[in-house]
C-alpha cells in the first residue's frame, strides 16, 4: 500500500484579489520547476489541511493549493458574495495566470471533484490530467441523499437524529431551508449552533471506521461556520449547474488522462455517481476501493498516490 509523502511546508504563499471583494490564500509546495498540479478542496467551504500537500511527490511536483472563496485563510471568511461554481472556476484560472503556469494537473475530491470537472470542461486546453476522488456531480438526488431524510439517515440513524434535533419537527420536511434560515440568522449563537450541528453530521459520515476526532474537527467553529453556510448556499442553488451538466459535457475532457477513485462504502457521496461518470467517460481509470469518503483512508491514499506518480512518470 502506498502512503502519503512526508510532511512539507510551502516555499511561497500568495494573496490574490479576485472579484466580489474576495482575496484568496494560495500556497506553493514541492519543486518550483516540477510538474504543476492544483489541489481543489472539498466542501465547498471546508478549506485546506496540511495533509493535502502530501498526495504528490515533492521532488517532481509544483503543488499549488488554495482556500476557495470564504474558506480557510481566504477572506472575507464564510462570505457568500459572488460565491458560485463559476466564480471558483474563474479563480482557478486567475491563479494559473498569476503563477504563469501554462498547463497543470487537476486534483480534487468530493466537492473538489465537482469543481475539477467544471473547470476541465471549461478550460480543457489547460488540463494535463485529472485525478478525482469521492465523486459528487451536484445532482438534486445526491443532495437529498445526505442532507434531507434520504438513504444516509437510515445508515447513520443516531447521527441523523442529532442533525435533525437542531430543527423543530414542523420544519424537518425541508432540512436545507430550515438550516439555511438559521445559518443566516442575525443571532450569532443561532448561526454557530446550526453550523456545528451541520458540521458534526458531515464529519460523522466521512470515514468508514468511526472517528470521533474527525467529527469533532468538522464541528469546530473555524471549519463549521464556513462549511455549513457555503454548502447550504450552493446546495439550495443546485450547485449552480444545469441538470446533469457535468455528465452531458464529459465529451469536452475525454481526451484528458483521468483517474476516478471512490470508496465502495462512501455514505456522503454514494458510489453510483462515480459509476455514472465512468460510464460517460470510459477512457478514465475507475478505481473502487474498500473505504468510505475520506481522502485520508489507506485504500484511497494508495490509489491517489499511484495516480499522481503515474502522471509524474508520464510528464517528468
Catalytic residues: 110, 266, 293
Q: Which three cell numbers stand for residue 179?
A: 438550516
Cis amide leading into 254 (omega within 30): no
The set of residues, in sequence order, having a beta carbon less than 8 Å from that of 271 and lying 6+ positions away, is: 262, 263, 264, 288
What strands, in cross-sheet order, belong to the sheet with 35-40? 12-17, 23-30, 61-66, 35-40, 104-109, 127-133, 258-263, 285-289
Is there a contact between 300 and 252 (Cβ–Cβ < 8 Å)?
no
77 three-state secondary structure: coil
Measure the CA dihedral 162/163/166/169, to 10°. -90
The set of residues, in sequence order, having a beta carbon less than 8 Å from that of 36 and lying 6+ positions away, is: 61, 62, 64, 99, 101, 103, 104, 105
- Please name every residue paired with 40 in a beta bridge, in sequence order, or none if there are none: 108
Amino acid at each position: 500500500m502506498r502512503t502519503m509523502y512526508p510532511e512539507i511546508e510551502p516555499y511561497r504563499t500568495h494573496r490574490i484579489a479576485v472579484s466580489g471583494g474576495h482575496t484568496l490564500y494560495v500556497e506553493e509546495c514541492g519543486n518550483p520547476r516540477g510538474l504543476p498540479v492544483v489541489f481543489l478542496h472539498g466542501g465547498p467551504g471546508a478549506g485546506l489541511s496540511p495533509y493535502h500537500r502530501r498526495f504528490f511527490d515533492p521532488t517532481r511536483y509544483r503543488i499549488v493549493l488554495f482556500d476557495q472563496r470564504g474558506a480557510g485563510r481566504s477572506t472575507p471568511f464564510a462570505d457568500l458574495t459572488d460565491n458560485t461554481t463559476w466564480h471558483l472556476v474563474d479563480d482557478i484560472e486567475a491563479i494559473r495566470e498569476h503563477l504563469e503556469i501554462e498547463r497543470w494537473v487537476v486534483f480534487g475530491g468530493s466537492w473538489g471533484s465537482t469543481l475539477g470537472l467544471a473547470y476541465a470542461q471549461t478550460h480543457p486546453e489547460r488540463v494535463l490530467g485529472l485525478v478525482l476522488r469521492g465523486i459528487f456531480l451536484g445532482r438534486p438526488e445526491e443532495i437529498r441523499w445526505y442532507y434531507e431524510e434520504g438513504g444516509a439517515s437510515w445508515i447513520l440513524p443516531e447521527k441523523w437524529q442529532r442533525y435533525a434535533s437542531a430543527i423543530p419537527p414542523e420544519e424537518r420536511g425541508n432540512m436545507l431551508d430550515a438550516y439555511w434560515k438559521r445559518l443566516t440568522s442575525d443571532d450569532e449563537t443561532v448561526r454557530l449552533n446550526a453550523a456545528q450541528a451541520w458540521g458534526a453530521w458531515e464529519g460523522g459520515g466521512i470515514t468508514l471506521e468511526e472517528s470521533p476526532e474527525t467529527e469533532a474537527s468538522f464541528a469546530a467553529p473555524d471549519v463549521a461556520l464556513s462549511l455549513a453556510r457555503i454548502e447550504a448556499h450552493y446546495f439550495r442553488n443546485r450547485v449552480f449547474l444545469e441538470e446533469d451538466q457535468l455528465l452531458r459535457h464529459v465529451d469536452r475532457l475525454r481526451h484528458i488522462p483521468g483517474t476516478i477513485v471512490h470508496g465502495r462504502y462512501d455514505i456522503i457521496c454514494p458510489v453510483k455517481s462515480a459509476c455514472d461518470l465512468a460510464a460517460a467517460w470510459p477512457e478514465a481509470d475507475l478505481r473502487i476501493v474498500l473505504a468510505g469518503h475520506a481522502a485520508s483512508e489507506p485504500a484511497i491514499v494508495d490509489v491517489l498516490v499511484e495516480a499522481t506518480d503515474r502522471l509524474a512518470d508520464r510528464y517528468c
